[in-house]
């Protein structure tokens, strides 16, 4: 079947990419419900992640994070 209109991405797996920073372009994917950033080199997650209002699962395990934004609480 042919798809018309925008594609709404709900799951994004960026695990094991050796990411050292959070890409702000991710915030434009407002349809995300599941974001996997595990097994990278992230040291911070921006407070702006709260803009992803549909996000119900965020995996940031196995990174270099010391704290998480209080907006996630």
Cα–Cα distance between 71 and 73 in angstroms, integer?
Answer: 5
b/e 31-45 (16+ beta carbons within 10 angstroms → b): ebeebbbbbbebeeb
Looking at residue 3, its pLDDT comes to 64
CA-CA distance, 55 to 19, in Å (whole number)?
A: 20
pLDDT at 70: 87
Please give the model's pTM, rounded to 2 decimal places: 0.87
Closest to 54 measured CA to CA, from 6, 22, 10, 7: 10
Please give the pLDDT value at position 72.
79
d(C-alpha 33, C-alpha 44), whole Å: 20
The pLDDT profile of the chain, 73 residues, written as one tens digit per residue, is 666 666 689 999 999 999 999 999 999 999 999 999 999 999 999 999 999 999 999 999 999 999 888 887 7
């Amino acid at each position: 079947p042919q798809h018309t209109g925008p594609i709404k991405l709900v799951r994004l797996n960026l695990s094991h990419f050796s990411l050292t920073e959070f890409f702000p372009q991710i915030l434009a994917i407002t349809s995300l419900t599941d974001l996997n950033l595990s097994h990278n080199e992230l040291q911070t997650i921006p407070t702006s992640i709260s803009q992803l209002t549909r996000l119900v699962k965020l995996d940031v395990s196995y990174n270099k994070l010391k704290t998480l934004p209080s907006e996630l609480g």
